[in-house]
Structure 1
């Protein structure tokens, strides 16, 4: 329901906000620079045939994907600038750790950059856990180890603490399917050549990782086969990507006693308490009950030795990046090269920054915004949120397919959407995070434990609706249905190499107003978000007739995207990507409505040869400037609820009447869709 996953210890989506005063460039100097949009264009492409290739193709031709990446685009360009700035922050902290936060940053950075110690330690950081697994003699002992190992990972299943979807004022313990080493269940069963190649390579990779635990090659090969058989059992009872997007179907609140009946071979009271969750956990929310029945059955149907090797493999898999280069490189050969098409790893300093961002990114963010955040730009985007909100209000009021009673509730929900722009008003306190002069692995484990305890401490307390789940320097944004809020970190508005005041409204309304602000607001009314009410509860507020009409219109979009072939014969999954596709289309329409009220649109003066209307659509396309290796495209089509970048432009533009008018799109053009099959929702 968001442009990417919410914050967690495994997330390292980072970027920077360039809307800062870095010296006083004059207007003449700014105008002499290459135009941010014109420089990207491939003029050999007809925009009515393939707008993505037209708007971004010039840049793509001249900017091949670097060997350490599987994709390259706008997010990477922003992130590269941030890497340099965050590295400077870390190096300054090492030179002058004059406060507790700087000392933690310095300690984390030094431990991560100490490759000599990391390589000398080898597998030492997880040796004690491996020995404990070897010592287990009963399923109960093994489950106790799995419960502890689950902290910071998702061994066996996923457990997290968050808002109750049907009572957003309450924080609950929630369980969901998980425990797979491949990206999702389809990798275990799909028979296309690309997926088959990955599945066939998987046993050798698991075996190679198990050899690091002390197994010889033959024993590791046999153990890997059993582990994969176990994972395949779990995968059979795992839901598909599109099925996981139905919030009602993935909500099953029950007492822990009922969960024990559902999966009787696991003592869930003990399992939950062994994670340090000792209060307010008599009731849990289970996402996929059938998975937990299958997990329980596997506890007794699979030999203890198989489970022990599974835990060892999971331990190696989740910790490989923080262990020796030999182990990390073996992990990369499968997950980086084969799955994503990367030719080599990022340099260590970038990987350490990624991990540090996940561990304590908000601490970095406090230092970052002091130097790089522009208050004028913040106000620009806060105002734009209200303009976009107003555009959706007008659209809802003029809908012909929705009844007045549902309209009034939709308008009320829209009025209650809260906005968070730039950075938090209240920062997280990392003083209790035990980052210090110790091994890199120990610092990462300390961060994982801190985040786990941070979540546990929320149980039984009022929901903190001021909290941010992304850092200010993140090049991303999200809509949180439980809080009915849009969260827009400073980084998401960045255009690399440009200050905010250098950007014309046409570009900004497309790039930020449509692809970010309008997109996130529309998420409140997509196929999932529309099921939550104004205060964030999963509760029906639609008439049955209006719901039917919405679904009929959404079905048109599902069909449209089902027909897009991405790589080889692999098509977009229209159901799985529906929410993001609706948000993309909604964002474009809302951004356009708001932009038409600006002085730039009314004056109609060209910049770099392009009209304001043309620059609006080019500005939106800038937000998806990127190209991706085939391997990673295939992975994303199977695992991501977002359509690939090209189709986030060409797909929704083909449904926008204004686009046809601006670019003269006619029947027979690649971008043309008959009026009768264009998507009409919001």
Structure 2
């Protein structure tokens, strides 16, 4: 929790004041504080947690360990989590509030047909463990029966089309994974102001192609455990000859994995810009009967569909046409069971009886993420309800827990940080006036949405029953898919939100040139309206700066102020940007979070750029917020020191090795510990903390990466 100066902590404050000041010579900011000869003014709330420091570590050797090492040494990850950190604190706050809201709704006995009743009934059904055990596979049986009835390639193609969902998003949440054969993403076209549907690769039961293809010993062991899981799940469902069927399913998935584009290629929007005539899929990707597929997917009326990973779509389609039909049917049956037993979106057990969800958790939760114990049913029920009825619950959340004063203060911070970005661009010596003008124009036209959307989703057509937990989830997924399809042919809504108010995250939307900052992330420990500016700008300010900078990272910089994929750079500026980006990628690729496993600097490039640039402009905005005055010294720390500590504490985290391995291989973000080291590229950090040559993080001024 944020550190507050009070009687109980005074002794700690005195000790820390001396030890922290010894970390470097006092800065001018600290040294210039006048001696007090009269009663001091009330000390502002620092917003910094000093109890988690490890003062045995030099800031210049490992700033993450200095800021967070004491906490990490003494903290044990809860048995039901794969990781824990500052973000988890916010998640737990949101979870507690969701529980309060749902309890209030249930007590009020809401009328049938209302969102309040849908929320209460969804939660009730999920909590009905005895009913879930009694119903067994009842909600899934129609899907299993339909799979059993597949008798031709046309039937198979139709089944795959009926199974697609809006569960991939390459540009906003950067989610490239689906356990369906393909995923669908509906958004404004890359170069045209109209909604288009995008088809994306999928079909793997494990997180990424590397889990199937890597010769790394951990991956080989994971594959053995995956086979054990597939066998056990098939047996639990009473499917005969489970061992041989499991081997055939995994062999098929391995072929799918070989067809998949690597993550770095999937991140390249130029490789993804492939609008295909719908009628041309049959020639470009033979093997699937595309007319049947698109009809079942609700996409038959579309003249064009974007193939995000064209090679993968062609390769997967070829497998649909060539691999034995019985194997595909077994594959579909396993994935139906796996999807019901494990909620991939929530990374937790699903809504089948305990025998199934225990098996699913054993593989997805323990083997893949290292988590010893599943979260208790009540917490999973809250997550599932929030996911299925996000806006319905979010509307209540925002009204009760996000005051207008917080919204106004965050909007003011966003305005200040955007102004700092404008100044930063204007000061760049390497950029030509032509490119500067375009960058500043894009920043000024960026749409900022704080807290909650202006318009809310309509759930009136969603059938939620108080005694059908799995059916509720499956119908909610279909409802979301139909909502996304309903946008096709409609005017583009550049104010559309892609996150709910109770989501602990933030997002840059390149196709809308917009940002969403949900209410749940605008809270302690990231944002405290009563805290000193240094903490707020170092924490939520850096998050805001990060999202602004995403509009100018190696993907965002490809889009203009109208959200179109367009080149607005001069050749010389492009070359400089690419060279700086490569240097930053090389810097991150040198980090080795696990023995023998390094960060992929190219894969995490966009996030790394946003971290460096976002921290730079957040610091500029913080200094401007002082209005030329000296920041107060609090707990023996200058304002600049508190700013950088707040940033490092944002990335305070502890993670299990299996989860860290998965994150390094599949995530576009560097691990939290490495993100905290972003400070080494900021000149002001050296002034604040006195890092010097010979220390591990030290970079000579010429080697500090400055992109924006």
**Deviation of 1:33 (Å):** 8.8
Q: What displacement does 1:160 show?
A: 2.6
Once residues 327 and 369 of structure 1 are traced to their aligned partners in structure 2, the CA distance between those partners, rounded to angstroms, is 36
**Residue of structure 2 in register with 1:104 after alignment:** 118
Task: Spell out, residue by residue over 1:519-549, the C-alpha distance to the aligned partner (whole angstroms, 9 max, x if none).
Answer: 0000010000000011001111112221111
Aligned counterpart, 2:536? 508
Give me the whole-angstrom Cα distance separating, in 2, the residues matched to 1:91 and 1:379: 30
Q: Secondary structure at the match of 1:197?
A: helix
Task: State the 1:255 CA deviation.
Answer: 0.3
Moved over 6 A (4+): 30-34
Corresponding position: 1:206 with 2:230: yes
Residue 276 of structure 1 and its aligned partner are, at CA, apart by 2.6
Return the match for 1:91 from 78, 100, 103: 103
Q: Does 1:233 align with 2:255?
A: yes
Q: Which protein has greater RCO, CA pairs closer than 8 Å, 6+ apart?
A: 1
Q: Which runs of 5+ in 1 are unaligned?
A: 1-27
- Following superposition, the deviation at residue 558 of structure 1 comes to 1.0
Q: CA deviation at 1:34?
A: 9.3
**Residue 246 (structure 1) aligns with:** 268
What is the 5 A alignment of 1:76-225? Answer: 76-99=88-111, 100-151=114-165, 154-167=179-192, 169-216=193-240, 219-225=241-247
Alignment deviations for residues 332-377 of structure 1 (CA, whole Å, 9 cap, x no partner): 0001001101000000011111111111121111111222112111
Corresponding residue number in structure 2 for 1:309: 330
Superposed displacement of residue 592, structure 1: 0.7
CA offsets per residue over residues 485-521 of structure 1, 9 Å max, x none? 111111212214x98333110000000111x110000
Tell me which residue corresponds to 1:17.
none
Corresponding residue number in structure 2 for 1:3: none
Task: Give 1:584's aligned residue.
Answer: 611
Whole-angstrom distance in 2 between the partners of 1:390 and 1:508: 17
**Cα distance change on mapping 1:249 and 1:362 into 2, 3 Å:** same
Partners of 1:679 and 1:190 in 2: CA distance? 32
2:584 is matched with which residue?
A: 557
The more displaced of 398-407 and 206-215 is 206-215
- What SS class does the counterpart of residue 274 from structure 1 fall into? helix
Residue-by-residue CA offset, 1:591-620 (whole Å, 9 max, x unaligned): 111111223883232112211110000111
Structure 2: segments with no counterpart, 5+ residues? 1-39, 167-177, 342-349
The residue aligned with 1:277 is 299
Q: Does 1:656 align with 2:682?
A: yes
**2 CA distance for matches of 1:375 and 1:666?**
44
TM (norm. structure 2) is 0.89
CA contact 1:187–1:199 (8 Å) conserved in 2? yes
Q: C-alpha deviations, 1:161-210, integer Å up to 9, x for none?
A: 2221111x211111111111110111111122222211221111111112
Please say if 1:73 is aligned against 2:73. Answer: no
Q: Is the 8 A contact 1:624 1:645 kept in 2?
A: yes
Distance 1:383 1:101 in 2: 33
Contact 1:527-1:579 at 8 Å conserved across structures:
yes
Task: Give the deviation of 1:97 after TM superposition.
Answer: 3.0
Pair 130,556 (structure 1): closer, same or farther in 2 beyond 3 Å: same
Closer/same/farther in 2, CA of residues 500 and 133 from structure 1, 3 Å limit: same
Report the alpha carbon displacement of residue 303 of structure 1 after superposing the two structures with TM.
Answer: 0.8
User: 1:472, 1:489 within 8 Å by CA — same for their partners in 2?
Assistant: yes
CA gap of 1:36–1:399, structure 2 versus 1, over 3 A, is closer
CA distance in 1, matches of 2:276, 2:157: 21
